[in-house]
């Protein structure tokens, strides 16, 4: 596993400075300052990725209602969940009550020094707080305001609450998942949230480029969880529009795409074999010792294999069952046939490829010991990302750093703001 040094992962994160920004690390987003509002997954996951690449991400939590992510996750060390440490890595945490007059004033002062606001409230929340885009643009017209919500900021369902599972269902992903005539299962992660986070990140980067490289202004990045899921439906949209065909769940493979499925080895392990391209199927037939299959009219091209998918995959299943997992993957590798075990997280921790790529990173922590973090993607050759530190365990850990170092408040100002309940 890749290790992050104690220095890079120290509890006292780099101090905030007045503009021009002092980069926290040499990442490609050094100098970009982000105010992260909201909680849990959809917004904060995008904030985590911005922090990975050098942005100064200031996570704002209510003094009396910290992010519930602090309590989510299965593993706990000294009373703290490790998922929080992953989701909030590299961020600075402050407390601020946006409902209080003083809290609103402080937020607008932060907006003057920021590049991006990232929030995943229900639409209309910022407006109720008196912090609409028009209000914050009065103090900083260049602000990018990324808004992640279930259905988007407009439309008849904009005010409805939306979670990942709801978005996956409404956006069409759930209907395609599972097996015919069975209840459509969900993926074991909050996929809809993560997809929306990636689109939010993309939108923020696009808006920053348009502002900074093209002379543009601030704008709203409007991301819907439902639309993020819908965007992955591939050919379903044009196919239905043209033919009225409604694709449904196809189990462990894809209908008409053969062979591309899971097959069980002699020792009971599942292996994906993906040889649906014509040239690859020739190699699979050779690996099976059945080169004649590639010349058989039933299997000689993509369309024919799709028609005869069931019988072809039965032949492959029978062949695969004659090998142990290691033997099966070895013979497939020798013939350059794409394959993979169906990996558990335990398998991933032993995966030499993922280890070589730095996808398991040890980040030391004074209170938690070592936290193993998922690595950073994408890999940039000249301005790589870096995990600065684990998410601060105490709400408001960086209050003095931000409010004194960035906004110039005195100790007395801080005490007054705290007494008022603003921080």
Q: How far apart are CA 348 and CA 4, in angstroms?
A: 20
Burial of 139-154, coded b for 16+ CB within 10 Å and e otherwise, reads: ebebbbbbbbbbbbee
Q: How far apart are CA 221 and CA 218, in angstroms?
A: 10
Q: How far apart are CA 240 and CA 250, in angstroms?
A: 17
Say whether 231 sits in a helix, a strand or coil.
Answer: coil
**Neighbouring-strand partners of residue 152:** none
3-class SS shares of the chain: helix, strand, coil, % to 5: 40, 15, 45
Q: How far is C-alpha 33 from the chain's CA centre?
A: 20
333 catalytic per annotation: no
* Catalytic pick among 52, 97, 115, 193: 193
Q: How far apart are CA 293 and CA 391, in angstroms?
A: 55
Say whether 146 sits in a helix, a strand or coil.
Answer: strand
Q: How far apart are CA 286 and CA 275, in angstroms?
A: 12
Q: How far apart are CA 328 and CA 314, in angstroms?
A: 16
Q: Which residue has the tokens 């990636």?
A: 198
Question: 151: which 2 tokens?
Answer: 């259905």
Entry field: residues in the chain: 423
Q: Which residue has the tokens 């988007």?
A: 152
Question: 156: which 2 tokens?
Answer: 């008849």
Q: Burial-class residue 54 by CB neighbours within 10 Å (0-12, 13-18, 19+).
A: buried
H/E stretch holding 369: strand 369-374
Q: Which of the residues are catalytic?
A: 193
């Amino acid at each position: 596993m890749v290790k992050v040094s104690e220095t890079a992962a120290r509890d006292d994160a780099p101090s905030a400075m007045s503009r021009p920004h002092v980069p926290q690390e040499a990442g490609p987003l050094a100098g970009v300052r982000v105010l992260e509002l909201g909680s849990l997954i959809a917004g904060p996951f995008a904030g985590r990725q911005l922090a990975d690449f050098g942005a100064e991400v200031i996570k704002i939590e209510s003094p009396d209602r910290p992010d519930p992510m602090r309590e989510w996750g299965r593993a706990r060390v000294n009373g703290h969940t490790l998922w929080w440490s992953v989701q909030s890595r590299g961020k600075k945490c402050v407390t601020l009550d946006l409902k209080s007059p003083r809290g609103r004033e402080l937020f607008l002062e932060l907006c003057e020094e920021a590049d991006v606001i990232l929030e995943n409230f229900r639409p209309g929340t910022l407006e109720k707080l008196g912090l609409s885009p028009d209000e914050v643009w009065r103090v900083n017209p260049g602000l990018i305001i990324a808004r992640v919500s279930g259905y988007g900021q407009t439309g008849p369902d904009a005010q409805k609450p939306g979670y990942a599972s709801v978005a996956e269902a409404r956006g069409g992903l759930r209907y395609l998942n599972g097996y015919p005539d069975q209840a459509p299962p969900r993926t074991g992660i909050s996929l809809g949230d993560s997809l929306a986070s990636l689109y939010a990140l993309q939108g923020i980067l696009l808006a920053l480029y348009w502002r900074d490289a093209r002379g543009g202004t601030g704008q709203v990045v409007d991301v819907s969880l439902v639309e993020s899921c819908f965007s992955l439906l591939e050919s379903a949209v044009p196919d239905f529009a043209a033919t009225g065909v409604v694709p449904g769940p196809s189990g462990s493979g894809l209908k008409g795409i053969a062979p591309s499925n899971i097959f069980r080895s002699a020792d009971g392990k599942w292996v994906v074999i993906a040889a649906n391209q014509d040239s690859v199927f020739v190699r699979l037939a050779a690996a099976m010792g059945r080169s004649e299959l590639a010349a058989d009219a039933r299997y000689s091209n993509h369309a024919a294999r799709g028609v005869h998918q069931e019988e072809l995959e039965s032949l492959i299943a029978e062949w695969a069952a004659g090998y142990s997992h290691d033997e099966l993957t070895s013979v497939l590798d020798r013939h350059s046939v794409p394959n993979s075990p169906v990996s558990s997280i335990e398998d991933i921790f032993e995966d030499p490829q993922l280890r070589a790529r730095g996808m398991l990173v040890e980040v030391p922590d004074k209170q938690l010991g070592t936290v193993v973090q998922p690595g950073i993607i994408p890999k940039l050759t000249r301005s790589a990302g870096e995990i600065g530190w684990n998410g601060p365990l105490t709400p408001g850990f960086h209050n003095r750093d931000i409010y004194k170092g960035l906004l110039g408040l005195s100790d007395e100002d801080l005490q007054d703001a705290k007494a008022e309940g603003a921080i």
